[in-house]
Amino acid sequence: MPHRIAVIPGDGIGPEVIAQAVKVIQALGGVELHELPWGADHYLATGQTVPANGYDLLRSFDAILIGALGDPRVPDNRHARDILLGTRFELDLYVNYRPVRLLDARLCPLKDRNPPDVDFVVLRENTEGLYVGIGGRFKAGTVDEIAVQEEINTYKGVHRIIRHAFEVARTRTRRAVCMADKSNAMQEGHALWQRVFREVRADYTDVSTRHLYIDAFDVIVTNNLFGDIITDIGGALQGGLGMAASANLHPGRTSMFEPVHGSAPPLAGRDVANPIGAILSVALMLEALGRVDDAQRIERAVESAVRDDAVTGDIGGKLGTAAAGDAIRTRLA
C-alpha cells in the first residue's frame, strides 16, 4: 500500500522547493500525493485559511509535507497561524525535531570544523510556550497601550518533550542531552523545566547531561521560542537556512515535515532557492514512515551533490532550484 501524503506547497519559495522534494519522492515511488492549495493566495481569494474539517482531513493522511507560509500581502500572518501553527497544535505535534548536520566542511562558518563536529539535534517543544496566543491588549492604539503575551509551560508538555529528548539521545553515540532554558531570569516557567529535567534525568543514568562546547552538543531540548531561534543559528552552521530540515512529530500519529526556512519572498519565482532543506525533510518523512533505506538514499544523494558543487548559489554552486533538485534526483541510484 502506498503511503498517502498531503502536500502543502504554501507561499513564496515554498512551491519551488516542494516541487523538487516531490520529484525526489516520486523517483523513489511508493506514495500517493494529494496537493492542498492552502496558503496566502487561497486565503486572499476565498477568505479561508484552513477549510472546515481541514485538520481532520490532515489526520487522514500518513504524513504531511509543507513548504513555507508567509506573504507580505497578509501582514498579520493569520493564514500561517492557522495552517502551520494550527496543524502543530491541533494534531498535537509536540516534538519539533530539527537535526543540525554539517554535510561538507566548506559550508561551515566555524573555523576548522568538520562534519563530525557539527552533528546534533534540537528538540523544540512545539505545542506551548510563547506560541499559544494567550494574551491581549488594553488601550490598544494609544500611548497607554499594554500588551500581554503569556508563556505557557505545563508539566505534561515539558515532561513529554524532555523524555523524548532522552529517548533520542539513547539512539546516538554521544548520548548527551543539554537543556536550554532561562531559569535564572524566568523563575516560574523555567523552574518547571529544571524540575522536570532533574526528574527525567534520574531515569536515564546512561545519558550524560552537561556538554557546552559546540562540537560536544548532541541533543538540545528547549522551549518553543528558543528552539525557533537556536535552529536558525543551527541552519547557519550547516551552510545556511536553505540546508535545514525539520519534522513536527507526535510519535505514532500523522506528522508534518518541512524545511526550517521561510517563504523568502525576495527569492520567490526566481529559481534560486536552495531545495535541500525541503528534500532532506522528505528523508525525515520517509524515515518516520519506516522507509529508512530510502531516507538514507536521499541523504547520500544530497551529500554527493554538495560534494560535486551541483547546488544553488547560496552554498556556492551555479545551479537553479530545479537543476539542483535534478542533480539530487539523478544521484538517488
Q: Tell me the residue type at 275.
A: P
Q: Which of residues 3-62 bind ligand NAD (CB under 6 A)?
A: 13, 17
Q: Tell me the residue type at 65.
A: L
Q: Is 228 in the site for Mn ion (CB under 5 A)?
A: yes
With CB under 6 A as the contact rule, the residue among 50, 66, 74, 80 that binds ligand IPM is 80
247 vs 161: CA distance, rounded Å? 14
Closest CA to 269 of 19, 7, 8, 2: 19
Name which of Mn ion, ligand NAD, ligand IPM, none residue 130 binds, using a CB cut-off of 5 to 8 Å depending on partner kind: none
Name which of ligand IPM, Mn ion, ligand NAD, none residue 100 binds, using a CB cut-off of 5 to 8 Å depending on partner kind: none
Radius of gyration over every alpha carbon of the chain, rounded to an integer in angstroms: 20
> Among this protein's residues, is 232 annotated catalytic?
yes
Name which of ligand IPM, ligand NAD, Mn ion, none residue 241 binds, using a CB cut-off of 5 to 8 Å depending on partner kind: ligand NAD
Q: Which of residues 228-267 bind ligand IPM (CB under 6 A)?
A: 228, 260, 262
> What cell was used for 84?
502551520
Shortest separation between residue 108's beta carbon and ligand IPM, angstroms = 21
Q: Which of residues 260-289 bind Mn ion (CB under 5 A)?
A: none
Closest CA to 285 of 259, 249, 257: 257
Outline where 2-110 has alpha helix (H).
14-28, 40-46, 54-59, 78-80, 86-90
> Among this protein's residues, is 112 annotated catalytic?
no
Determine the interface stretch with ligand IPM among 11-19, 79-87, 104-112, 309-317 (rule: CB under 6 A): 79-87
Shortest separation between residue 259's beta carbon and ligand IPM, angstroms = 9
> What cell was used for 27?
523517483
Which residue among the candidates 11, 104, 228, 314 is catalytic per the annotation?
228
The 252-291 contact track toward ligand NAD, x by CB under 6 A, reads: ------x--xxxx--x-----xx--x--------------
**CB distance 292 to 28 below 8 Å:** no
33 vs 2: CA distance, rounded Å? 10
184 CB-contact burial (10 Å; exposed 0-12 / middle 13-18 / buried 19+)? exposed
In sequence order, what are the beta bridge partners of 319? Answer: 312
> Among this protein's residues, is 215 annotated catalytic?
yes
Please give the C-alpha separations between residue 59 and each of 6, 86, 240, 259, 263, in angstroms, as whole numbers. 10, 13, 32, 20, 24
Shortest separation between residue 146's beta carbon and ligand IPM, angstroms = 24
Residues that bind ligand IPM (CB under 6 A): 70, 80, 84-85, 228, 260, 262
- Residue numbers annotated as active site: 131, 182, 215, 228, 232
Residues that bind ligand NAD (CB under 6 A): 13, 17, 68-70, 77, 84, 241-242, 258, 261-264, 267, 273-274, 277, 314
